[in-house]
Structure 1
Amino acid sequence: MANASHYGPSSTSMERDARLIHADKPVSAGSIAIGVIIGRMSEFFDFFVYGLASVLVFPQLIFPFAPDRLTATLYSFAIFSLAFLARPVGSVVFMTIDRLYGRGTKLTIALFLLGGSTASIAFLPGYNEIGAWAVALLALFRLGQGFALGGAWDGLASLLALNAPKNHRGWYAMIPQLGAPIGFALASVIFGYFIANLSNEDFLSWGWRYPFFVAFAINVVALFARLRLVMTQEFGTLLEQHELEAAPINQVLRVHGRDILLGAFVPLASFAMFHLVTIFPLTWMFLYGTQPIGAFMVVQIIGAMVGIVAIIVSGMIADRIGRRAQLAVCAVLIAIFSFVGPVLIAMGSEGQDAFVIIGFGVLGLSFGQATGSISSRFGRGYRYTGAAFTSDLAWLVGAGFAPLVALTLSSRFGLHYVGYYLLSGALCTLAALAFSKALEQRD
């Protein structure tokens, strides 16, 4: 395929023909940005729908045999983590599909598998109906989500970054990150609506299933938005220049193994905080809080709006002081929040609301530049695969086990141990940034 393809090994003849058809219709940076946001929003919506259900539904539906709600939630979070273990495996498999059959084929398979795994959960019977099979099927579908997400890496964020002016790279780097708070807000709106308007029995019987159906529909829309950009002349040109080709992972590890390791730890503070301001507060409120869950989800939606603003601001700041300095400052802010956050949660409803809103603000400032730091170290030919695999490892180390670890620590040793956990992420980020700077100066 590599010798026959004008656009390199990641382009099929059908994709090349599609690009030739659209050769006289250049795509604007705005169109790329919209496509990237839609794509990321669909992925995060899938994961947040599952994350919210891990707190509100699965402990009661799948783990009614647990001795208490806390233990059931811990079981639920253990399965939650499986997707992050499967994601790197999915990247390796789908990179092979990319090289053999093209980016469009890879994305189509990955997004249908992602949407199919999510929609399948909507039909899942409870433990009282099918016993242990309910646990096994939930684990299987969760693994399917993670495996598919590894193949959903499309290179569009890199396409956006490679078209960014030098003095606006921070601004362009933050655009894909907007998909996370948008996806979380949308998932919270849908869940919150059913919680507020249904009895607990109706919600656990059928109401919780609707968000999973919506996820499949959103994935279909996102697929067409992504394919439209993958078939553009601009994307094909970058493939021809080997900027977005899917290199074998063993080659990338051999050339950029050190960069992958550093890249996995640079955003650790941001990724560790990611689930601590989205999933963990809802968990604490569900288990120990006093205010209605529906009302608290409104607060989380407000927090997501604050996060959107903070992500946008992060792009402006990064263009002024540089991405590394931005991430270092935010790591310090997260370290400070690691001491303040547990105190806020312990203060009751008002403190818990403040925890969410302030937390989203700090998270947005950091998360807005987190993945931009990952891809910037990879050279031509290695950027696409390197950025994908580094992102997988960063999510696995930083966020995959965060809800499980945070709930375990807080329930056994107290809320201040959640702060220590978050502080360790901030220190890892600062150390990785310092080491990365030292290596660049030496090189």
Structure 2
Amino acid sequence: MSSTATPAQSGHKAPSGAHSIAGSGPSHHISASDIAVGVIIGRTSEFFDFFVFAIASVIVFPQRIFAFADPLTGTLLSFLVLAVAFIARPVGSALFMAIDRRYGRVTKLTVALFLMGTATVAMGLIPSYENVGAWAVIILVVLRLAQGLALGGVWDGMPSLLALMAPKNRRGFYAMIPQLGAPLGLIVASLLFAYLAASLSAQDFLDWGWRYPFFVAFSVNVVALFARLRIVAGEEVQELFASRDLQPTRLGDTLREDGRTVLLGIFVPLATFAMFHMVTVFPLSWIFLYTDETLVSFLVIEAIAAVIGVMAMFLSGYLADRFGRRRLLFWAALLIAGFAILAPLLLSVGKPGEIIYMFAGFFILGLSFGQSSGAVASLFEARNRYTGSAIVSDFAWLFGAGFAPVTALLSSSQFGLSAAGLYLLSGAFCSTIAILLSVGLDFRGGNR
């Protein structure tokens, strides 16, 4: 790290439930709101990149990169490439944590975000299968692999720091703030694709219009890099990371000391992350392949549903502070199970069914997703919280979300929409059991 000073060495007293921290001079002041802004910008950029790729996986890549296959097979192949990043992410975490320990968090973030931006903008330059043949597929896979490695490196510990700085009676609210990046990223990506699809002819959109969101993603990454470095590179925040023990520990040490917690933690947010793809990527693919709904119309519906998700996340902060976050996650897992059984069939009854599916799905997702990361971080003691949270997040996304789109689309195309919910139902079952087994669960209340 570029600064290893402890509170005792620097003359600072670590805050307990404080809203701000004074720096080494009268002009320095880092507040929870400063960190929150940096966290939201960073997470929004990450999810914007993700959704740009995910939307293109449905409406562009099957025709441009997998043109040799029929539309369904092309979409399934695109979803397999989508999963590549989730497979690479744990490797990226291990690689970039080594960089963090050796060169510091600033270097790690700079390299990771540069890799992410370069890979993303390069995707907008990929030639079609008609022009270069199988090389188009190979290039896409390599770039997606690079995105996954970079995604493992963008974890900066600021969400955990934000939660630790929060007063005890507001930890649910502060834990929710970093999660806002997901729906915000989806809103921007959906509306951008909707605008381009509505403004261009179908041929122009497929020839060159689809490339612009990838170029925009690069610009967003640059802004996010400077916004995050402005906070992370500050001496005050470095001291806060040190005083809160938010430092990268070696993977072997973390697994040896907290292996059971890591294993249990992977399953706590499993249903949430599976639900994430069941209301974002999967319904877009089904609507695009099997209905007469226009792309623009459904993308707008998706953006509005994401706004409902934002409101539900704010509600999750209140409910978590009032009743406890793991208690909220338990009931949310039961709601996800009910959604998995009943909701998929709504996609086959026209626009009213689609709207109900999306609005209800995002409301449930907001309640659950808003507290998923905070619940995971709270499982760990201070020493292994930074590395343990990253490992759990990587594998929960891999097992919960990585293969959800391809599994749901393949099963529904073969056995009907009711089969699409089975993957989600299994995730809800695993999460329910994991939450019940997690340390500190107390149905009488408490913010655990």
TM superposition shift of 1:349: 2.1
Q: 1:407 aligned to 409, 434, 442, which one?
A: 409
- Classify 1:242/1:318 alpha carbon distance in 2 versus 1 (closer, same or farther; 3 Å): closer
TM superposition shift of 1:56: 0.6
Give distance in 1, aligned partners of 2:337 and 2:184: 25
Give distance in 1, aligned partners of 2:403 and 2:245: 33
The farther-off stretch of 290-299 and 206-215 is 290-299
Quick one: which amino acid aligns to residue 76 of structure 2?
Answer: L
TM superposition shift of 1:81: 0.3
TM superposition shift of 1:439: 8.9
Question: Which runs of 5 or more residues in structure 1 are unaligned?
Answer: 9-18
- Classify 1:256/1:350 alpha carbon distance in 2 versus 1 (closer, same or farther; 3 Å): same
2:66 match: secondary structure? coil
Q: 2:365 aligned to 334, 357, 363, which one?
A: 363
Quick one: which amino acid aligns to residue 106 of structure 1?
Answer: K
2:37 match: secondary structure? helix
- Classify 1:392/1:356 alpha carbon distance in 2 versus 1 (closer, same or farther; 3 Å): same
Quick one: which amino acid aligns to residue 60 of structure 1?
Answer: Q
1:110 match: secondary structure? helix
Deviation sequence 1:148-172 (CA, Å, 0-9, x none): 0100001110110110111111000
Give distance in 2, aligned partners of 1:338 and 1:122: 35
Quick one: which amino acid aligns to residue 52 of structure 1?
Answer: I
Give distance in 2, aligned partners of 1:98 and 1:20: 23
Deviation sequence 1:166-188 (CA, Å, 0-9, x none): 11110000000000000000000
2:305 matched to 1:269? no
1:97 match: secondary structure? helix
TM-score normalised to structure 2 length: 0.93
Partner of 2:13: none
- Classify 1:20/1:327 alpha carbon distance in 2 versus 1 (closer, same or farther; 3 Å): closer
Deviation sequence 1:352-403 (CA, Å, 0-9, x none): 1211111111100110001111111212221111111110011001001110
Partner of 2:312: 310
Deviation sequence 1:395-420 (CA, Å, 0-9, x none): 00100111011001101111111122
Give distance in 1, aligned partners of 2:432 and 2:30: 38
TM-score normalised to structure 1 length: 0.94
Q: 2:53 aligned to 33, 50, 53, which one?
A: 50
TM superposition shift of 1:24: 4.1
Deviation sequence 1:316-339 (CA, Å, 0-9, x none): 000000011100010111111112
- Classify 1:381/1:440 alpha carbon distance in 2 versus 1 (closer, same or farther; 3 Å): farther
Give distance in 2, aligned partners of 1:135 and 1:33: 39
TM superposition shift of 1:215: 0.4
Partner of 2:34: 31
Whether the aligned pair in 2 keeps the contact of 1:23 and 1:233 (CA below 8 Å) is no
Quick one: which amino acid aligns to residue 276 of structure 1?
Answer: M
2:68 match: secondary structure? coil
2:392 matched to 1:390? yes
**RMSD of equivalent CA atoms:** 1.9
Deviation sequence 1:8-44 (CA, Å, 0-9, x none): 9xxxxxxxxxx97777411111111111000000000
The farther-off stretch of 205-214 and 339-348 is 339-348
User: Which residues of 2 match residues 34-433 of structure 1 at below 5 A?
Assistant: 34-66=37-69, 68-241=70-243, 243-433=245-435
Give distance in 2, aligned partners of 1:337 and 1:280: 14
Quick one: which amino acid aligns to residue 203 of structure 2?
Answer: E
Give distance in 2, aligned partners of 1:79 and 1:219: 22
Quick one: which amino acid aligns to residue 338 of structure 1?
Answer: A
What is the percentage of aligned positions where both structures have the same residue?
55
